[in-house]
């Protein structure tokens, strides 16, 4: 696109015209909705689901206060962020989508979960309902007249079991009330980070489209999230002009007037209607409008139109649904410090459930007797769910602590099912030219690995800052767009949070994205999405989905780029269980490990080194992978072991050669993968030599080498002839001046000096 579209200077005076943003345009009632096509049965189901949500959350109030205990000695733990008063948004929105569409949710997401599961069950076949109730050990038959009721009860049971931290909960008790998800129903997860799922929703919508489906994603989030950086990054990403078919995501602001205690209007923003945010992202204002969120039918009508726009390639859409939470931020907040009784009374007077019931009675689709029956049924089902979760569901067994963290599955053996058709290639994919020793550059090995995997699997896409026409800041992706086109290789905005966040969402729905963060220093801008979303989602949601994605990034140093472009931050990434972390040293390894990482069904952070990009190594043209979690002995020796990865491997190998000239035998072990770490190979080497130096580019305090040293001392204590030494950079940010940078980084000479010192020479 950049080469196809010139941007020429044009300073013609004029004025931008901003299209009006609709406010509360649909002001009808249930009768109008029925006249416009809403089926009476569907309307009554909306009423039922609102009652389910209200009854469920009123039970949480009773559990928290101790007025109800599902078993003797029960004590409620966990978060209590309730959405009582907001039922019209959850039900109006989710009733307007298909069962196979997706949603993402918030920390105040019980209602979203109940609505998504219920409407999915309403759209299920009898056999699907039988299979659903079997998830909690119940048996049923397709001709059971109460089958749907039993399925809804099973749904409520699993939702309450998750809230109570039970194994039978939707997330096996790993997530609790703030992190509930149900991938069977297209619920991609509630999120305790404000705005945390907005990039995930965008990525899921992008991924669904690239997989050739017409699924839409509803991204439900609170008004407070609109002030968060990820909201801007996600909505801008979704609105990119290069997505010519639009991104099928509906951003729904569940605007309950308060972030926690602060007000959007008159306090923490300068606008009255948050729909105005849409003006900044595309020429149609993201089709933004403000909707009466206290009317389930108004929300249903607006979301129906938004979904139609998305399915026709005109997304994204932004809806500001004005509603109200009757209770505080949580049950520990009594609201008195920042809200008046008059304000609360005014909103309660237009309660979504009460209004809907009155309109259903007036429309003649509901009788007072049936309404009372619906209310009693909802309370009874929630009561039964709570008793079941408290007395029949099980506490998770601590022996299962690691279950769901990482999967051992890969995309090996997929065969031709997902192969890229030759007709889809813009130009034929070719390998890099080798020298007479079969060698190519490290950066060319990166290109070749991605190219081979994109040919092998059309679910693999590549994006990041400047990776397309320019080929990345270091040329490691040059030429890929020429082979695969802009649909699979494209530039992202400078949005370090949205890049991995959207990758996470795309992976959740079946894509295998490779995303790039240009420098590892920039992961600090993306740590919520990497550490709280990519790393935690699989475990937090009960291990019931896969996140096959690769985050490529680079380490600098030695180039005078100073403190914000030269850090070695791999230890930071290793702090988040759920990530695999790879740091290859050679071109052979970078190709084999990157191919393995792309095939892995876990999120993998793949760290390349800028100083290695121009190093050469023999690299086969044949398809091969290097398994993650397997170290290699790069050089055998007997006197001392040096453990080094990434560019420090080069330093270690040079030091070993220098040592050999002085009669010292150095064994060099390259871990290659930091998480999982092959402690066995490292320990075997140290047990043989009795001495160990761990070579690090990072500052000494907190570097990953400290963990390697700990593992060595744990495993090799009886064999050690001296304490393990960590040879690292100074505990300062990387300096720019050549004299300081040279001194700061471990060098072959400095490494040799430490080797000799440890050997007493």
List 550's β-bridge partners, or say none: 514, 604
DSSP state of 396: P
Q: In the prediction, which pLDDT does 518 show? A: 96
Distance CA 646, CA 573 (A): 15
- The position carrying tokens 């998830």 is 135
550: closest CA among 484, 477, 481, 623?
Answer: 477
The residue from 558, 589, 618 where one domain ends is 618
Same structural domain for residues 514 and 588?
A: yes
Contact in structure between 579 and 564 (CB atoms under 8 Å):
no
Cα-to-chain-centroid distance, residue 442: 29
Q: Is 408 exposed, middle or buried (0-12, 13-18, 19+ CB in 10 A)?
A: exposed
Contact in structure between 91 and 42 (CB atoms under 8 Å):
no
Same structural domain for residues 576 and 478?
A: yes
Same structural domain for residues 581 and 465?
A: yes
Same structural domain for residues 277 and 143?
A: no
Same structural domain for residues 466 and 522?
A: yes
Structure tokens belonging to residue 323: 């509603």
DSSP state of 330: S
Is 605 in a helix, a strand, or coil? strand
**pLDDT tens digits along 513-548:** 999 999 999 999 999 999 999 999 999 999 999 999
DSSP per-residue letters across 704-746: HHHHHHHHHHHHHTTT-SS--EEEEE-SSPPP-SHHHHHHHS-
* 51: preceding bond cis by omega (within 30 degrees): no
As for how many domains the chain has, the answer is: 4
Q: In the prediction, which pLDDT does 27 show? A: 86
For helices 87-94 and 296-311, give the axis angle rounded to 10 degrees.
40
DSSP state of 264: I
Q: Are strands 603-609 and 549-555 parallel, antiparallel or unpaired?
A: parallel
Q: What is the CA radius of gyration of the chain?
A: 29
Position 77 in a domain: no
How far apart, in Å, do the first and last CA atoms of the chain sit? 62
Is 458 in a helix, a strand, or coil? coil
Query: Looking at 107, 273, 300, 565, which residue is catalytic?
Result: 565
Sign of the alpha-carbon dihedral angle for 327, 329, 333, 338: negative
Domain hosting residue 666, numbered range: 632-758
Q: In the prediction, which pLDDT does 3 show? A: 66
Same structural domain for residues 452 and 599?
A: yes
Is 317 in a helix, a strand, or coil? strand
Contact in structure between 207 and 432 (CB atoms under 8 Å):
no
Q: Is 204 exposed, middle or buried (0-12, 13-18, 19+ CB in 10 A)?
A: buried
Cα-to-chain-centroid distance, residue 410: 19
DSSP state of 433: P
Contact in structure between 63 and 76 (CB atoms under 8 Å):
yes
Distances 40 to 46, 92, 294 between C-alpha atoms, Å: 10, 14, 20
Position 18 in a domain: no
For residue 404, give every residue at least 6 positions away whose Cβ sits within 8 Å of its Cβ, in sequence order, or none. Answer: 172, 174, 538, 539, 542, 543, 544
List 252's β-bridge partners, or say none: 220, 319
HSE value, Cβ hemisphere, 13 Å, CA-based, for 738: 0
Position 274 in a domain: yes
Helix (H) or strand (E) holding 255: strand 249-255
DSSP state of 663: T
HSE value, Cβ hemisphere, 13 Å, CA-based, for 689: 30
Q: Is 145 exposed, middle or buried (0-12, 13-18, 19+ CB in 10 A)?
A: exposed
Residue 313 Rama label (left phi>0; alpha psi -120 to 50; beta): left
Same structural domain for residues 126 and 175?
A: yes
Position 567 in a domain: yes
Position 296 in a domain: yes
Q: Give the helix, strand, coil percentages of the chain, each rounded to 5.
A: 45, 15, 45
Distance CA 594, CA 620 (A): 14
Same structural domain for residues 171 and 201?
A: no
Distance CA 674, CA 593 (A): 12
Task: Write down the pTM of the prediction.
Answer: 0.96
Position 14 in a domain: no
The residue from 568, 586, 618 where one domain ends is 618
Distance CA 699, CA 571 (A): 10
Contact in structure between 404 and 539 (CB atoms under 8 Å):
yes
- The position carrying tokens 């053996």 is 413
Contact in structure between 6 and 270 (CB atoms under 8 Å):
no
Distance CA 366, CA 360 (A): 5
Tell me if residue 565 is catalytic. Answer: yes
List phi, psi (to 5°) of 555: -100, 135
> CATH no. for residue 739?
3.40.50.920
Q: Which residues of the chain have pLDDT under 70?
A: 1-3
Contact in structure between 217 and 208 (CB atoms under 8 Å):
yes
Is 477 in a helix, a strand, or coil? coil
Contact in structure between 252 and 219 (CB atoms under 8 Å):
yes
- The position carrying tokens 């009795």 is 690
Same structural domain for residues 383 and 444?
A: no
> CATH no. for residue 215?
3.40.50.970
Same structural domain for residues 169 and 202?
A: no
Is 472 in a helix, a strand, or coil? coil
Position 3 in a domain: no
Distances 436 to 64, 617, 619 between C-alpha atoms, Å: 73, 12, 12
Is 462 in a helix, a strand, or coil? strand
Position 397 in a domain: no
Same structural domain for residues 385 and 422?
A: no
Same structural domain for residues 555 and 667?
A: no
């Amino acid at each position: 696109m950049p080469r196809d579209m010139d941007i020429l200077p044009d300073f013609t005076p004029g004025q931008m015209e901003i299209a009006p943003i609709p406010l509360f345009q649909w002001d009808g009632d249930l009768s109008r909705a029925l006249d416009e096509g809403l089926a009476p049965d569907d309307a009554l189901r909306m009423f039922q689901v609102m009652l389910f949500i209200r009854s469920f959350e009123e039970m949480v109030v009773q559990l928290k206060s101790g007025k109800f205990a599902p078993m003797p000695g029960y004590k409620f733990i966990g978060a209590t962020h309730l959405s009582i008063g907001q039922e019209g948004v959850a039900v109006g929105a989710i009733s307007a989508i298909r069962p196979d569409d997706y949603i993402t949710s918030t920390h105040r997401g019980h209602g979203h979960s109940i609505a998504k599961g219920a409407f999915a069950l309403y759209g299920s076949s009898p056999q699907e309902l039988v299979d659903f109730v079997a998830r909690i050990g119940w048996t049923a038959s397709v001709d059971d007249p109460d089958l749907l009721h039993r399925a809804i009860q099973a749904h409520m049971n699993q939702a309450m079991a998750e809230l109570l931290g039970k194994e039978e909960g939707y997330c096996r008790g790993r997530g609790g009330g703030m992190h509930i998800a149900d991938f069977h129903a297209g619920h991609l997860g509630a999120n305790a980070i404000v705005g945390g799922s907005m990039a995930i929703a965008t990525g899921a919508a992008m991924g669904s489209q690239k997989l050739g489906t017409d699924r839409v994603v509803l991204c439900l989030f609170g008004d407070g999230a609109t002030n968060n950086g990820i909201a801007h990054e996600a909505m801008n990403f979704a609105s990119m002009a290069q997505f010519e078919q639009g991104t099928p995501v509906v951003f729904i602001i569940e605007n309950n007037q308060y972030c926690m205690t602060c007000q959007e209007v008159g306090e923490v923003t300068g606008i009255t209607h948050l729909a105005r945010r849409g003006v900044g992202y595309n020429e149609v204002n993201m089709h933004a409008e403000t909707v009466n969120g206290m009317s389930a039918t108004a929300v249903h009508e607006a979301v129906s139109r938004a979904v139609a726009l998305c399915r026709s390639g005109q997304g994204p859409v932004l809806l500001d649904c004005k509603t109200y939470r009757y209770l505080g931020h949580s049950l520990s907040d009594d609201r008195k410090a920042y809200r008046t009784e008059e304000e609360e009374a005014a909103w309660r007077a237009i309660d979504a459930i009460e209004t809907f019931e009155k309109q259903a009675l007036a429309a003649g689709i509901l009788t007072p007797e049936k309404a009372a029956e619906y209310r009693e049924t909802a309370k009874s089902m929630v009561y039964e769910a709570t008793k079941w979760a408290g007395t029949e569901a099980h506490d998770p067994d601590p022996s299962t602590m690691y279950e769901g963290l990482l999967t051992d599955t890969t995309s090996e053996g997929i065969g031709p099912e997902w192969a890229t058709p030759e007709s889809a290639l813009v130009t034929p994919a070719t390998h890099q030219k080798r020298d007479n020793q079969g060698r190519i550059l490290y950066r060319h090995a990166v290109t070749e690995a991605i190219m081979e995997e994109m040919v092998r699997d059309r679910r693999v896409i590549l994006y990041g800052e400047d990776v397309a026409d320019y080929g990345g800041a270091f040329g490691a992706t040059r030429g890929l767009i020429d082979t695969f086109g802009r649909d699979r290789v494209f530039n992202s905005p400078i949005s370090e949070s949205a890049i991995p966040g959207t990758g996470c969402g795309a992976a959740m729905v079946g894509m295998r994205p490779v995303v790039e963060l240009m420098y590892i220093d920039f992961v600090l801008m993306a740590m919520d999405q990497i550490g709280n979303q990519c790393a935690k989602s699989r475990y937090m949601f009960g291990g019931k989905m896969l996140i096959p994605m690769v985050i490529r990034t680079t380490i600098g140093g030695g180039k005078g780029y100073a403190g914000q472009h030269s850090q070695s931050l791999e230890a930071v990434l290793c702090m988040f269980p759920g990530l695999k972390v790879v740091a290859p040293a050679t071109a052979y390894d970078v190709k084999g490990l990157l191919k393995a990482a792309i095939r892995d069904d876990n999120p993998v952070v793949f760290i390349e080194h800028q100083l290695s990009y121009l190093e050469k190594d023999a690299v086969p043209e044949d398809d091969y992978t290097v398994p993650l979690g397997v170290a290699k002995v790069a050089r055998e020796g007997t006197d001392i072991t040096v453990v080094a990865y990434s560019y420090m491997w080069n330093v270690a190998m040079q030091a070993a050669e220098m040592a050999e000239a002085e009669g010292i035998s150095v064994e060099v072990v390259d871990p290659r993968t930091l998480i999982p770490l092959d402690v066995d190979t490292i320990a075997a080497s140290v047990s043989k030599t009795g001495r160990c130096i761990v070579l690090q580019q990072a500052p000494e305090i907190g570097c990953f080498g400290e963990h390697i040293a700990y593992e060595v001392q744990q495993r090799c204590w009886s064999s050690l002839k001296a304490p393990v030494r960590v040879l690292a950079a100074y505990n300062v940010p990387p300096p720019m001046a050549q004299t300081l940078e040279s001194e700061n980084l471990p060098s072959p000479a400095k490494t040799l000096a430490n080797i000799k010192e440890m050997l007493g020479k």
